[in-house]
Amino acid sequence: MNPIIRHTFTADPTVLEHEGKVYLFTGHDEPPAGTDDYVMKKWLCFSSDDLSNWTEHPSPLKATDFHWASGDAFASKVIRLNGAFYWFAAVSHRDIPGKAIGLAKSPLLKAPIPTRSANRLFPAICCPNSITIRKTSTPRCYLLMARSTSFGGTRFAILRN
C-alpha cells in the first residue's frame, strides 16, 4: 500500500508546490477482480499543507478527456508556466497503435480541464512509460519520455511556449 494514500490504489505520482500547498497527482489504478495488471482511466489529485494530512479532490482529468484517446491513462506530469497549469499525460491512442502524449491546460490547478483544451502534443509514439518536464533558466522546457529499451530508451523534445 502507498504510505501516503492508503484508501485507493495509485501509480505514477507527480507533485507540484503552489502557494504553500503541495499537490500530488497520481494515476488511479482500478483493475477488475482477477486482473493482475494496471488499469487506469483517470488521474487523482490530493493536497497537503504539512505532508502528513492529505485532502482528496475530484478527479481533474481522465484519459477520455483527450477526444483522440482510447481511455487508458499512464504517467503524467503537471507544471506551472506563465500563469497556467499544464498537464502532460501519456495515453493510449484510439486510432493508431501505441501511446501519445496529450497536453491539457487550465488556469486553475484543481479545476476540471476543458475538453477543448485537451490536445495531442505528439502523435502516437511507441510506449512512453514515464514522462517528465525539465524547466531551465532559459525560457525553454524539455519533455523527457522514458520507454523500454526495446523501443529505443529515453527520448526528449524541446517544447515551444
Mean pLDDT of the chain: 76
Retrieve residue 159's grid coordinates.
Answer: 517544447
pLDDT digits (tens, 9 = 90+) for 40-96: 788 899 999 999 999 999 888 888 888 888 888 888 888 887 788 888 888 888 887
Query: Between the CA atoms of 108, 158, 117 and 104, what dihedral angle is there, to the nearest 10 degrees?
Result: -50
Distance CA 126, CA 133 (A): 19
Q: Are strands 155-159 and 141-147 parallel, antiparallel or unpaired?
A: antiparallel
- The overall pTM is greater than 0.85: no
pLDDT digits (tens, 9 = 90+) for 89-109: 888 888 877 777 788 888 877
